[in-house]
Copies of this chain bind each other. A is one copy, B any other.
């Protein structure tokens, strides 16, 4: 029968993070409480240029207290995930994608939040102006060949879950594509 919800109480509502306490009936029939976090869905983009190099961005993360290397992306901010992916890519790297393919969707912390991260492969890139928002001050962009990005994942230089999953999925998709197949 699975879990059943009996009520929801909003414990805290913040600008980016809210916390709810639900009354639940567990799958074994016993009553319980279940606290969960409400945050925005996310997007991450593997943006591949004509030299088969992809964009990585780096900026200061508060909770990790260090600069973090990751794929372009961020919160959907209420947009459709495809629109959010195109917006974040352009804001952070100045690239406009002509083609956008869904690589997959992951659940970053499914026992804690229902928020999902949507993973995309962007190709047919053309340059535009970078227009970072206030949270993206100090961000730098680099373009790396696919094998170098995969090596960065293997060596632990890229650890953000959406970036790790999108890079490994993109590598798998590109490697197993039929001869003459298009990435888009």
Residues of A within 8 A of B (CB): 2-3, 11-12, 14-17, 19, 21-22, 24, 27-28, 34-37, 39, 42, 60-68, 104-117, 134, 137-138, 150, 153-154, 156, 159-162, 164-165, 168-169, 171-173
| Minimum-distance CB pairs A-B, first 4 | A168-B168, A3-B62, A161-B161, A108-B108
Chain B residues closer than 8 Å to A19, beta-carbon distance = 11-12, 17, 19, 37
Inter-subunit contact A154/B168 (CB<8 Å): no
B residues near A2, Cβ cutoff 8 Å: 60, 65-67
Choose one: B60, B65, B106; the contact of A160 (CB below 8 Å).
B106
Query: Would A109 and B111 be within 8 Å (CB), given that A14-B21, A19-B12, A19-B19 are in contact?
Result: no
- Apart from A108-B161, A116-B159, A168-B172, list 13 A-B contacts with CB within 8 A: A3-B61, A3-B62, A12-B12, A14-B21, A14-B35, A16-B112, A17-B35, A61-B111, A106-B160, A107-B159, A154-B173, A165-B165, A171-B172
A46–B123 Cα distance when bound, in Å, is: 32
Residue pair A111, B21 in contact (C-beta under 8 Å): no
Q: State how many angstroms separate the Cβ of A181 from the closest Cβ of chain B.
A: 14
The reply to whether B3 and A60 form a contact with Cβ atoms under 8 Å apart is yes
Inter-chain contacts of A113 with B (CB < 8 A):
63, 109, 112
- A6: min CB distance to chain B, Å: 12
- The winner among A17, A64, A114, A162 for most chain B CB atoms within 10 A is A17
Please give the distance in Å from A43's CB to the nearest CB on chain B: 13
